[in-house]
Amino acid sequence: TYMDYLIIDSLKENSRKKRSDISNELNISTKTVSRRLDNLINNFLIQFQIDWYPDNSGQVTSIIILKLKSDLIVDDNEFIKNLRNQYGSKILFTWSFSNLPNIKLVSVWTETMKELQNIETSFLSEIRYESVEVAVLIEGKMYPTWMFL
C-alpha cells in the first residue's frame, strides 16, 4: 500500500530508526507503523540491508573466482564444508550457479594482502582448479529492489 511505501521510504537511510520516529515523521500512530512493518517483514515483502565500505576497514575483503576443471562434478555442500574446514572464519560466504556449475565465488576476509595472497596460492596449488582469480572489494553497493508476490 501507499502507507507501506512511506514507511519503507522513511527507513531507506536508517533501517534502525525507531518506530516512534517513523510515526512522528508520517503523522500516524506507532501501532500502525508496527502493524504495517510486522506485516511486511512476516510476509517477506521487505528485506533490510546495509551499504558497506571495505576500504575503510583495516582488513581486506575480496571475491575469489574459482573455475573448476570441466570434468569435475562437485557437491556444493561438500565443497563449502571443505572450504570452511581449511580456511575457517576467513570465508564470509560462497556462491554457486546452476547455469555455471564449474564456477564458484568465494568471499574472503583477510587481515593483510599477504594473507590473501597465501590463500590464492593455496587455491592455485590445487589441481582441480582451471583458474583462480582474485578481486579485492573496495566498496559495496546495494541497489533497491522490489518483490511482488
- pLDDT in the model for residue 4: 93
Is a pLDDT exceeding 80 seen at residue 49? Answer: no
Query: Percent of the chain having pLDDT more than 70?
Result: 87
Query: Percent of the chain having pLDDT more than 90?
Result: 55
pLDDT digit string, tens, across residues 96-116: 988 998 999 999 999 999 999
pLDDT digit string, tens, across residues 133-144: 999 988 776 666
Indicate the CATH number for domain 2-42: 1.10.10
Phi and psi dihedrals of 23, rounded to 5? Answer: -65, -40
- pLDDT in the model for residue 47: 76
Indicate the CATH number for domain 54-136: 3.30.70.920
Confidence of residue 51 (pLDDT cuts 50, 70, 90): low
DSSP 83-135: HHHHHGGGEEEEEEETTEEEEEEEEEEESSHHHHHHHHHHHHT-TTEEEEEEE
Q: Does 137 or 123 have the greater pLDDT score?
A: 123
> Does the pTM exceed 0.95?
no
Domain boundaries, the chain: 2-42, 54-136
